[in-house]
Amino acid sequence: MTEFDAPPILSSVAADDEYPSSSILDSRRQTGANWFSDAPGAVLEVRNSTNDDRRALERWPREVRRLCEVLGWPSGAPLAQPHGALGVCFFSAPLDGLLTATTVAEQAWVRAEQWVRAQDGSELAASWLVSSESDVHAALRVRYDEERAPLAAACVMVEAAVSHACSWQLDEELVSVGSGVHGSAWPLEAVPSPEQIAWDTVRDVPVTLVTGSNGKTTTTRLVAAMWRTAGRHVGWSCSDGVFVHDADGTRELADGDYTGPGGARLVLRDRSVQAAVLETARGGMLRRGLATSRAHAAVITNISADHFGEYGVESLGDLARVKATVARILVPHALLVLNADDEHLRALGAALEREHSTTVAWFSRSAENALVLRGVQQHGYGAVLHDGHLLLCDDGVWSDVGALHDMPLTLEGAATHNVENALAASLTASVAGVPFAAIHGALRQFGGAVDDNAGRMQRRVLGDVTVLVDYAHNPEGMRVLGATAMGIPAARRLLLLGQAGNRDDAQLVALAHAAWNGAQYDRVVLKEMEGMLRGREPGEVTRVLREALLDAGAPFAVLDVCPSELDAVRAALLWAQPGDLLVLPTHVQKDEVEALLDALSGGGWQAGSPLPAV
């Protein structure tokens, strides 16, 4: 820290100065329940690499409390925690002042840094703390007055929704209460008074949240299929878009990754929806918190290493606690579904039951799992495998959902991770209120059509070549994919491998080792993923993956590199011979790959035949 660099006060921060201190790394709102709290608030990420940083981190909560007093806010229970090289700070704040709250968090950090300097004898820092105080306070009051004025009516409506025990959703344009067919939404400038609302008609449809490291999209789609089989108009958001299935068929409301709050709100505000299933990814929860205030069921599929180093997540324990955010908005008597075979979820479940009185329903591959049996005794719900069949306990009654061999999703049991997804979806649907007959019926159908679970362990036969398309994107997913590939008879096997640039080298190496050690491949095609470099130079990710594969024992001659995902798929198809299996994880050009495979299937393509030019 230099002797003294006077930070700009609030009113003089230049537009191109993102933050008032160079040690602030990120500052963001939490518009709903989040990792730290049931309440909205603000998160600040700061440098935590020097002793002065650590002293400022300890001081920050006190500075936040002082600034909250100026605004007339509650103290907000400020937290300041070291997470490796990061310091992560949070305090809860009023819904009508979240932008102001980010400024409060930043200014509190600036003042904490200057306090450290003053303690070390800097008279200039001590003088600045006194002289700037009134200007900062005045600027914060002005900022809060400007922010809350257009939100006043919306916040009154939110308070009314809470008092009537129904959900609310708020963004920059709309406020809504209730959900689906029982909900209403208004532009912020046209919100009626609560007295004008017939509250006996406003309520929530069943809302299910799906999170975890792997299997989220498949589980989301499967629970939605179970609601559909039950005759409900269902809406779901996932990594492939936002969809509603009603009397007119399936409508796509948005295309792309909608696992964050925006996708959830699209589903919840659709007036034809009678049940909602919302894939809820780590990133959205960490960036903004949850989109809605109430849910009726939630599931965490599993926990595995991915995205470490982002947003203060440094360990599997951190990741599990982030995923547990979904439990914060469960309505009374709702159940959180957890995987009893996952050690991190077993620890998480015990903590949630002990510290937050969360009621957990467990699923397991073992019919003798003690957690499942204890849960059944306590509340009557659980799911297990027994002798090749999926058994489901609903309200204390065990029933046979069917043989795994008869469930297309499991590829006759070879797709072991989809067996786990079937367990998760069955139990989650059951606790959400889906009838047993619909769960049974959906499992006997789902996965039989190409469009049921596009891009997730999707097996296609192109003449005499088998293609397996999946979204595997982390070491655990790659291990599962390899195990499934080895369960499918093949003359030779090829793997397509790539990764986004926001993983560090250690995570890239772990992915490559999991790929090579998890199966026997005769060829590996590495793909550039343009659009997902995320700060990396072109060729950097494929170089690290290639070196890691060689280190794991892959012969140099079996490795190839292609400039794009589609080029890599085309190279795989040109390599193929009769009886081969092509394992194709796809991420950035899913639509183009799907279109190519459709064209080959429709044209009766055989190995060795030319490929379409486009």
Instruction: Please give, one letter per residue, the 3-state secondary structure of 192-219.
Output: CCHHHCCHHHCCCCCEEEEECCCCHHHH
Backbone angles phi, psi at 594, to 5 degrees: -60, -40
For residue 3, name the pLDDT band (cuts at 50, 70, 90): low
- Condensed to tens digits (0 to 9), the pLDDT of residues 183-242 reads 999 999 999 999 999 999 999 999 999 999 989 999 999 999 999 999 999 999 999 899
Nearest to 298 by CA among 244, 339, 354, 346: 339
Q: Which of 140-149, 163-172, 592-601 has the lowest mean pLDDT?
A: 592-601
Asked if residue 57 has pLDDT above 50, the reply is yes
Q: Which residues is 29 bridged to in the sheet? A: 42
CA distance 568 to 88: 40
CA distances from 51 to 56, 57, 120, 457, 476 (A): 9, 10, 12, 49, 37
The verdict on domain 207-445 having CATH code 3.40.1190.10 is: yes
Dihedral-angle region of residue 539 (phi above 0 means left; psi in -120 to 50 means alpha; beta otherwise):
left
Nearest to 34 by CA among 236, 323, 254: 323
The residue-averaged pLDDT of 131-157 equals 96
The mean pLDDT of the chain is: 92
Give percent of the chain with pLDDT exceeding 70: 96
Extract the tokens encoding 433: 């209120």
Which residues make Cβ contacts (< 8 Å) with residue 557, sequence separation at least 6?
A: none
Q: Alpha carbon 361 to chain centroid distance?
A: 21
Backbone angles phi, psi at 91, to 5 degrees: -145, 145
Task: For 395-440, list the strands marked E by DSSP.
Answer: 397-403
Nearest to 277 by CA among 181, 177, 324, 207: 207
The residue-averaged pLDDT of 6-35 equals 79
For residue 14, name the pLDDT band (cuts at 50, 70, 90): very low
pTM for this entry: 0.84
Q: Are 284 and 200 in contact (CB under 8 A)?
A: no
Question: Which pLDDT score is estimated for 76?
Answer: 74
Asked if residue 15 has pLDDT above 50, the reply is no
261 or 10, greater pLDDT = 261
Extract the tokens encoding 275: 């049940």
Asked if residue 2 has pLDDT above 90, the reply is no
Question: Which pLDDT score is estimated for 17?
Answer: 61
314 or 311, greater pLDDT = 314
CA distances from 588 to 263, 362, 468, 564 (A): 19, 34, 17, 9
Asked if residue 120 has pLDDT above 60, the reply is yes
For residue 608, name the pLDDT band (cuts at 50, 70, 90): confident
CA quadruple 339, 345, 350, 353: dihedral positive or negative?
negative
DSSP 3: S
CA distance 506 to 504: 6
Nearest-10 crossing angle of helices 416-432, 436-445: 150
Extract the tokens encoding 362: 């467990």
Question: Which pLDDT score is estimated for 1?
Answer: 43
Per-domain residue ranges of the chain: 10-149, 207-445, 458-602
- Condensed to tens digits (0 to 9), the pLDDT of residues 62-119 reads 999 999 999 999 987 899 999 888 999 999 999 999 999 999 999 999 999 999 999 9
CA distances from 120 to 4, 20, 163, 377, 574 (A): 11, 21, 50, 61, 69
Residues constituting the chain: 614
Give percent of the chain with pLDDT exceeding 90: 76
**String of DSSP letters for 27-89:** EEEE-SS-SS-SS-EEEEEEE--SHHHHHHHHHHHHHHHHHHHHHT------EEEEETTEEEE
CA distance 601 to 586: 18
Question: Which pLDDT score is estimated for 447?
Answer: 87
Which residues make Cβ contacts (< 8 Å) with residue 516, sequence separation at least 6?
A: 524, 549, 552, 553, 554
- Condensed to tens digits (0 to 9), the pLDDT of residues 487-510 reads 889 999 999 999 888 788 888 999
CA distances from 610 to 3, 240, 569 (A): 70, 30, 14
Question: Which pLDDT score is estimated for 473?
Answer: 76
Question: Which pLDDT score is estimated for 13?
Answer: 43
Asked if residue 4 has pLDDT above 70, the reply is no
5 or 177, greater pLDDT = 177
Strand pairing of 389-394 and 382-386?
A: antiparallel
- If one counts every other C-beta atom within 10 angstroms of the C-beta of residue 173, the result is 10
- The CATH number given to 458-602 is 3.90.190.20
CA distance 306 to 472: 12
**String of DSSP letters for 90-150:** EEE--GGGHHHHHHHHHHHHHHHHHHHHHHTT-HHHHHHHHHTHHHHHHHHHHHHHHHHGG
CA distances from 369 to 29, 40, 212, 363, 364 (A): 41, 38, 21, 9, 7
CA distances from 117 to 66, 110, 200 (A): 19, 11, 58
Backbone angles phi, psi at 367, to 5 degrees: -70, -15
Q: Are 469 and 458 in contact (CB under 8 A)?
A: yes
Question: Which pLDDT score is estimated for 307?
Answer: 55
The residue-averaged pLDDT of 269-293 equals 96
First to last CA, the chain: 58
Asked if residue 433 has pLDDT above 80, the reply is yes
For residue 614, name the pLDDT band (cuts at 50, 70, 90): low
Strand pairing of 465-470 and 249-255?
A: unpaired
The residue-averaged pLDDT of 538-545 equals 91
Nearest-10 crossing angle of helices 51-71, 133-148: 60
For residue 9, name the pLDDT band (cuts at 50, 70, 90): low
Nearest to 381 by CA among 401, 396, 359: 396
The residue-averaged pLDDT of 371-386 equals 97
Q: Are 167 and 260 in contact (CB under 8 A)?
A: no
Backbone angles phi, psi at 47, to 5 degrees: -65, 140
- Condensed to tens digits (0 to 9), the pLDDT of residues 335-347 reads 999 999 999 999 9
Asked if residue 474 has pLDDT above 90, the reply is no
Extract the tokens encoding 141: 């009051």
CA quadruple 551, 493, 305, 256: dihedral positive or negative?
positive
Asked if residue 176 has pLDDT above 50, the reply is yes
Nearest to 487 by CA among 412, 401, 568, 539: 412
- Condensed to tens digits (0 to 9), the pLDDT of residues 434-455 reads 999 999 999 999 988 877 777 6
3-state secondary structure at position 169: strand
Which residues make Cβ contacts (< 8 Å) with residue 282, sequence separation at least 6?
A: 211, 307, 313, 319, 322, 323
